[in-house]
Homo-oligomer: A and B are copies of this chain.
Amino acid sequence: MIMRRVAIVGVGMTEFGEHWELGYRELVAQAGVRAIEDAKLQGVKIDALYGGTMAAGKLIGQEHITALIADYMGLNPIPATRVEAACASGGVALRTGYMAVASGMHDVVVVGGAEKMTDVPTGEAAIALGGAGDQEWELFMGATFPALYALAARRHMYEYGTTREMLASVAVKNHANGAKNPYAHFRKEISLQAVLDSKMIADPLTIFDCSPISDGAAAVILMPLEKAKEHTDMPIEILASTQASDTLALHSRKSLTELMATKVAVRRALEATKMTPKDIDVCEVHDCFTIAEIMAIEDLGFFEKGKGGQATLDGETALNSKISINTSGGLKACGHPVGATGVKQAVEITWQLRGEAQNGRQVKGAEIGMTHNVGGSGATCVIHVMKRAD
């Protein structure tokens, strides 16, 4: 039983994209300052900082990166801790900040997520990201992440009749949402045909089935719910924060077409909140590849296993349809600065629950939101359920 209720009182993020002119420090500072301003925290003491980053050691030669941010932002001597679970680093950072507040250890906590990926060539970035899987058994044998998710896609097509068009329809839908998001890496719509005709990366995944390599940062401010009302009229309560693990290597799993970590984490989140998937109005899912979104909407219980592709092709996950999935554009179109993604998901859901999503991407009457952040090929999954606390 959680000892103290926790709410988000402020959010901020940078545009995601290729920020040749900004370093890691500047990106995090930009997101952090926006969150602090959003929370009207000027003059309020911040008690601790948790940062999610996957591979700063390999990408920019810097470990101890969250202490560096406390230093750069003038927050010393507050505790500053980096948390990491590959592509779920942002999600575990949020969960750690949540525990810090729930435990009574800290009252005002900033949770940041960031990655600066374009300082190294793409091949080097791919190898750094390969460390999210089982290095000795997967990356060392040549299996980069597009290859691993391509195995899942092929198997999903074989078992459930999922088609290339269904995969492509995920990208089309997420680009349509991303076109409405001023923070998105890609802000243009694409056609189904464009995805099908684009360059093959790992059969059956083309380049438009893959999320990009992005720079970016996102931040949220947490407080005990009882104090949150002093800073905002619309605190967003975190109703559940759950996490589960699975094998790193795909070959150790019973199934290639579902993520056990997602299924366990979402079951615990729904039990804790006494909800069913039908209660969720808007959800950010981890679509590092188009097949990942199809598996996610099935594993989360929005659609039966095997039906996620058809549902997407039929528009059931589009904005203001049956369930609005990835209104931000997702990893696919909003971009995927690895450590930032899990925090960005919480930023987007906060905007949705406050009714502040811009440019026509607001989900009508959104009351309950969910984030789904996956590490590697599913060895970690973190789920957060959020609700406007009025």
CA distance A128 to B136 in the complex (A): 20
Query: Could you tell me how many residues of chain A have their Cβ less than 8 Å away from some Cβ of chain B?
Result: 69
A123 within 8 A of B: no
Stretch among A172-180, A244-252, A278-286, A306-314 lining the B interface: A244-252
List, in ascending order, chain B residues with CB within 8 A of A245's CB: 67, 70-71, 75-80
User: At the interface, yes or no: A211 with Cβ under 8 Å from chain B?
Assistant: no
Report yes or no: A71 in contact with B247, Cβ–Cβ below 8 A.
yes
A376 contacts across to B, CB distance below 8 A? 64, 67
Q: How far is the CA of A248 from the CA of B84 in the complex (A)?
A: 20
CA distance A81 to B82 in the complex (A): 11
| Chain B residues closer than 8 Å to A187, beta-carbon distance | none
CB distance from A109 to the nearest CB of B (A): 11
Asked, given contacts A54-B63, A64-B376, whether A71 binds B246 with beta carbons under 8 Å apart, the answer is yes
Partner of A103, one of B3, B61, B139, B379: B3
Q: Is the CB of A104 within 8 A of B3?
A: yes
Query: Are the C-beta atoms of B247 and A76 separated by less than 8 Å?
Result: yes
Closest partner residue, chain B, to A104 (CB atom): B3
Q: Does A60 interact with chain B (Cβ within 8 Å)? A: yes
The answer, among B58, B62, B71, B130, for a CB contact under 8 Å with A252, is B71
Residues A64 and B102 in contact in the complex (CB < 8 Å), given A71-B245, A80-B380: no
A77 with B244, Cβ < 8 A, contacts A55-B57, A68-B379 known: yes
A322 at the interface (CB under 8 A from B): no
Interface hits, A68-118 → B, CB 8 Å: 68, 70-71, 75-86, 92, 95-96, 98-100, 102-105
Q: Which B residues are CB-close (under 8 A) to A44?
A: none
| Known contacts A99-B99, A102-B103; A63/B244 CB under 8 A | no
Which residue of chain B has the shortest Cβ distance to A91 in the bound complex? B81
Task: For A135, give its contact among B61, B86, B103 (CB under 8 Å).
Answer: B61
A3 close to B57 (CB less than 8 A): no
Chain B CB within 8 A of A261 CB: yes
**Is B62 a contact of A102 with CB atoms below 8 Å?**
no
How does the 8 Å CB contact mask read for A237-262 relative to B, with 1 for contact and 0 for none? 00001111111110010000000110
**From residue 260 to 283 of chain A, which have CB atoms closer than 8 A to chain B?**
260-261, 264-265
Sampled A-B contacts (30; CB under 8 Å): A1-B104, A3-B102, A55-B57, A58-B58, A62-B131, A62-B136, A64-B131, A64-B380, A66-B85, A67-B86, A67-B245, A67-B248, A67-B379, A68-B248, A68-B379, A71-B246, A71-B248, A71-B252, A76-B245, A76-B247, A76-B260, A77-B261, A78-B244, A79-B244, A81-B92, A81-B243, A83-B84, A99-B103, A103-B104, A105-B241
Query: Which A residues are within 8 Å of any B CB, using their own CB?
Result: 1-4, 48, 54-55, 57-58, 60-64, 66-68, 70-71, 75-86, 92, 95-96, 98-100, 102-105, 128, 130-136, 139-140, 241-249, 252, 260-261, 264-265, 375-376, 379-380
